[in-house]
Structure 1
Amino acid sequence: MASKEVVKLWGFWVSPFSMRVEWALRLKGVEYEYIEEDIYNKTPQLLELNPIHKKVPVLIHGEKVILESFIILEYIDETWKQYPILPQDPYDTAMARFWAKVGEEKLLYNAHKAMCTQFEDEIERCLKEAVESLEKIEEVLIKGKSKFFGGEKIGYLDIALGWISYWLPVWEEVGSMKIVDPILFPSTTAWMENFRNHPVIKDKLPPRDETVVYFQRQKKEIGAILAAAKRG
């Protein structure tokens, strides 16, 4: 039985991608062993488990290796049936996958780049695209008229976008920028609070002060790389 096979997760303490996998496992009550990976000094074991992308998260279930956080979430939901996270309706499932991808490719990418880049024109462009994508996400919440994207309980899209509730405010602080205006995005602001304070989520978030310091260092390092690339 799936529940009797050993479950291991390779992650990184401040990674929202590995964190979303932990949230899903915890919501379902799945016991797992967590292995902290140093992404700046990757172990041979990680490189062997994920030779293509060489990244976390990596989920091990028995003898099976599952990669990429969104794929891992679906695997978890299909393997452990308690506390379903994906919608039951095929259309709703398709839409949840779509908005998860929008959050990743439009909001996360642009917010993170706006935090890191040193060039005002790029910051302005990235912030504009980030806010535009958040406007669409706000509309989804308004239409749902519920506590979470998944209704009255946390679902797949909440987990996929959960980084917004914790990491995005940190990026705003580090980058001296504002994306989530409570007046413009009241539903998103309320959702962020609900999600962040859910007992399962609240108990599995990285220390904020350390998270700020980490991204301050990342901003400096990536900013220097982006500046060098633009000059070259």
Structure 2
Amino acid sequence: MQLYSIRKKIWAVKGKEQEEAKKQFMEGLKTLEGEIGEKAYFGVEEFGFVDSALVPITFWFYTYDTCGSLSIGTECPKLVEWAKRCMEKVSVSMLLPHPRKIYDFVLHFRKTHGLE
């Protein structure tokens, strides 16, 4: 899955390249949504390795939605619910930055690189 390799293109480029990245990214998220299904976490009913590997991308959802005009919550509601369960864990919420800080960083990047 190419989620990690294409996600920057959602906020760091414009035009056709961004549109293709958004399409690929959403396809990847929908695949994950299918895998989580009705389970609380990936693979098992407890937070595990796959969850810890994937949860950092969820802190970027606000930025992807805002900068990429995506609607992750609408397109992938089960994945968003999974992310909320993960963020209830102190080990997750204390380690990763607040989504607003990520968005502020991206806004600064976009302005300094002439993307705004």
Q: Same fold (TM over 0.5)?
A: yes
Q: What runs of 5+ residues in structure 1 fail to find an aligned partner?
A: 1-101, 227-232
Aligned to 1:114: 10
Aligned to 1:147: 40
The answer (yes or no) to whether the contact 1:130–1:179 under 8 Å persists in 2 is no
Give the number of the structure with larger relative contact order, counting CA–CA contacts within 8 Å between residues 6 or more apart.
2
Q: Given the two structures, how large is their TM-score scaled by the length of structure 1?
A: 0.44
**Per-residue deviation, 1:176:** 4.4
| Cα RMSD, aligned residues only | 2.2
Matches within 5 A, 1:215-226: 215-221=106-112, 223-224=113-114
**Per-residue deviation, 1:167:** 1.7
More helix by share: 2
Aligned to 1:136: 31
Q: Is 1:201 aligned to residue 100 of structure 2?
A: no
The answer (yes or no) to whether the contact 2:7–2:25 under 8 Å persists in 1 is yes
State how far apart, in whole Å, the 2-side matches of 1:220 and 1:108 are: 23
Q: Given the two structures, how large is their TM-score scaled by the length of structure 2?
A: 0.81
User: In the comparison of the two structures, how many residue pairs are matched?
Assistant: 115
Q: 1:209 to 1:157 in 2, by over 3 A?
A: same
**Per-residue deviation, 1:179:** 4.8
For residue 84 of structure 2, give the secondary structure of its aligned residue in structure 1: helix
Deviations 1:17-36 (A, max 9, x none): xxxxxxxxxxxxxxxxxxxx
Aligned to 1:160: 53
Q: What runs of 5+ residues in structure 2 fail to find an aligned partner?
A: none
Point out the structure with max Rg over C-alpha: 1
More strand by share: 1
